[in-house]
Amino acid sequence: MRTSITGKLTKSACASLYVRKAGFTLVEIMVVIALMGIILVLAVPTTRNVLTGDSLKKASRQLIGLERKLRVEAVRDQTDYILCIDLPTASYWIVTADMTAEKEHEIKNSARKLSTGVQILAIVFPGNKKFSEGEVRIRFGKNSICPPMVIHLGYEEEKMTIVVNPFMGVTGIYNEYKDISLEEGMGSERIRL
C-alpha cells in the first residue's frame, strides 16, 4: 500500500483494497458438494435406524418395563395384576383380579398403545399356545410369578422376539423372529424349517 506523507492512502491504494471478486470458484463449489454427499452417505443409515428401529426398540422397552413393574407391584401390593393386551391394535391396559367389569371397561377405554406402527405379531405360552389375534390376559401373581411367554413384535419388515421367564423376568431379546420352545427350556431355540 502506498501512503502519502500525511499518512493517508493514495487513490491507487484505495482502489486495490476494494477490488475483490464476489462469489465462489467452481472448485470450491465441487468440494462443498462432495463433502455434503459424504455426510449424507454416512447419515442416512443412522437416520433410518433412528426412525424405524427405534420404534421397535421403544415398544420392547415398554413391554419389558411393564413386566418388571407388574412383578414388583404385585408383590408389594399383595394383589394379582393382569396385563391385558389387544393384539390387533397393539394397545394394553392393566387391571386387578378383583376389579368389577364396569371398572375394567372404563380402564380399557383409556388403553395405551405401543409405539406407532409396531405390531404384536404373536404371544406364545406353554403348551405351544400361540395367540396372534384378539385379547390376551397375562396374570402377574402376588407371589412374583407370571407365566413363561414369548412375545413377537414387528415393525414394517423388522422383527423382534422377547422371552419372559417366570422366575428371572426377561431372559432373551432377539432382533429377529425366533421360534422358541418353552417346553425344552427357556430360551432354547427350535429350528424353523
Q: Are 107 and 81 in contact (CB under 8 A)?
A: no
Residue 136: per-residue pLDDT: 92
Residue 42: per-residue pLDDT: 81
- What is the CATH classification number for the domain harbouring 105? 3.55.40.10
Q: Which domain holds residue 82?
A: 31-174
User: How much of the chain is helix, strand and coil, in % rounded to 5?
Assistant: 35, 30, 35
Question: Is residue 40, in this structure, part of any structural domain at all?
Answer: yes
Which residues make beta-bridge pairs with 113? 91
Question: Is residue 21, in this structure, part of any structural domain at all?
Answer: no
Q: Are 63 and 119 in contact (CB under 8 A)?
A: no
- Please state whether the predicted TM-score (pTM) of the whole model is above 0.75: no
pLDDT at 31 over 70: yes
CA dist list (Å): 84 to 91, 103, 111, 113, 120: 8, 14, 9, 12, 13
Q: Is 157 helix (H, G, I), strand (E, B) or coil?
A: coil
Q: Is 20 helix (H, G, I), strand (E, B) or coil?
A: coil
Question: Is residue 62, in this structure, part of any structural domain at all?
Answer: yes
Question: Is residue 10, in this structure, part of any structural domain at all?
Answer: no
62-106 pLDDT, tens per residue? Answer: 888 888 888 888 888 888 999 999 999 989 999 998 888 899 989
Residue 193: which pLDDT band, with cuts at 50, 70 and 90?
very low
Beta-sheet strand order (sheet of 112-113) = 112-113, 91-96, 81-86, 135-140
Residue 191: per-residue pLDDT: 34
Q: Structurally, how many domains does the chain consist of?
A: 1
Question: Is residue 12, in this structure, part of any structural domain at all?
Answer: no
Residue 17's closest CA among 2, 6, 32, 27? Answer: 2
Q: Given the C-alpha cell 482502489, which residue does it identify? A: 15
Q: Are 172 and 187 in contact (CB under 8 A)?
A: yes
Cell of 92: 394394553
Residue 7: per-residue pLDDT: 56
Question: Is residue 16, in this structure, part of any structural domain at all?
Answer: no
